[in-house]
Amino acid sequence: MLKTIRLLGVNVSRVNLASAAAQIEEWVHEKKSTYVCVAPVSTLVDARRDPRYRDVINAAGMVTPDGMPVVWLARARGGKEVSRTYGPDLLCHLCRRGQSIGLKHFFYGGTQDSVARLKQKLREAYPLVKIVGSHVPPFRQGIWQEDQAVLDIINKTEADIVWVGLGSPKQDFWMDRHRALLKAPVIIGAGAAFDFCAGTKPQAPRWIQPLGLEWLFRLCCEPRRLWKRYLVGNSLFLIYLLEDIFRKSP
């Protein structure tokens, strides 16, 4: 079992990109049935506010530190080995490494355009990558039970990893609800990785990401959609963090 650090009630795995990928490959080899959540600040905040969501996140086999504030907090609490394990980086890393061991990938979610471009970009970058299928569901509100016909399509591909790009918290609830119905050993919530890796949305420059300012870049790109997540969410993160600090103080 992976070592974890509890941050705002969420058990964040003490991993970095290399160790996370190695663990996922081991699970695929062992045919272990599990799912992986990526956890930026917004996930910690949402999990703090919703106990049901927190249970879903903590039931994952791995919860990666997706944002730099999460990494800094984990390191401050003893996780010296922790580094950012970002959804887009994890996707590309496993597609690259998977060429030599025959990992089979299935993509669920996104849009027709983003998924088509994603597959094209990945095949250009990693000529031996095995992409065995994809499915773009219609937009739905809330949590739903996927049609059995779609689950059958995914299972028939014998994918090793199903990447789910529905955005959090929707993708996390989807993985939890469908984990027992899918034969793929590992399901990974990819967040915005489909759009970023496909190039359909701009990704923050690499020099910005280690500074913990990617949220500001994304906010500037999509202010109407993301203002609440970042301006309200980041404020709540600081409030919850201070609450925990004062609660633990003698």
Q: For 111, left (φ over 0), alpha (ψ -120 to 50), or beta?
A: beta
Q: Is the pLDDT of residue 83 over 90?
A: yes
Name the DSSP letter for residue 199: T
Q: Is the pLDDT of residue 12 over 90?
A: yes
Give pLDDT, residue 9.
Answer: 94
pTM: 0.93
Bridge partner list, 6: 11
CA gap 63, 74 in Å, rounded:
12
- On average, the pLDDT of the chain sits at 92
Give pLDDT, residue 192.
Answer: 86
- Exposed (0-12), middle (13-18) or buried (19+): which is 140, by Cβ within 10 Å? exposed
Q: Report residue 8 as tokens.
A: 């705002």
Give pLDDT, residue 202.
Answer: 74
DSSP for 59-72?
TSSEEEE-SHHHHH
Give pLDDT, residue 142.
Answer: 76
Give pLDDT, residue 188.
Answer: 98
Better pLDDT: 141 or 4: 4
CA gap 174, 187 in Å, rounded:
10
Give pLDDT, residue 248.
Answer: 66
**For residue 200, what pLDDT band results from cuts at 50, 70 and 90?**
confident
Q: Please state at what angle helix 41-49 crosses helix 68-76, rounded to 10 degrees.
A: 80
3 state DSSP class of 29? helix
pLDDT in tens, 155-174: 999 999 999 999 999 999 99
CA gap 21, 27 in Å, rounded:
10
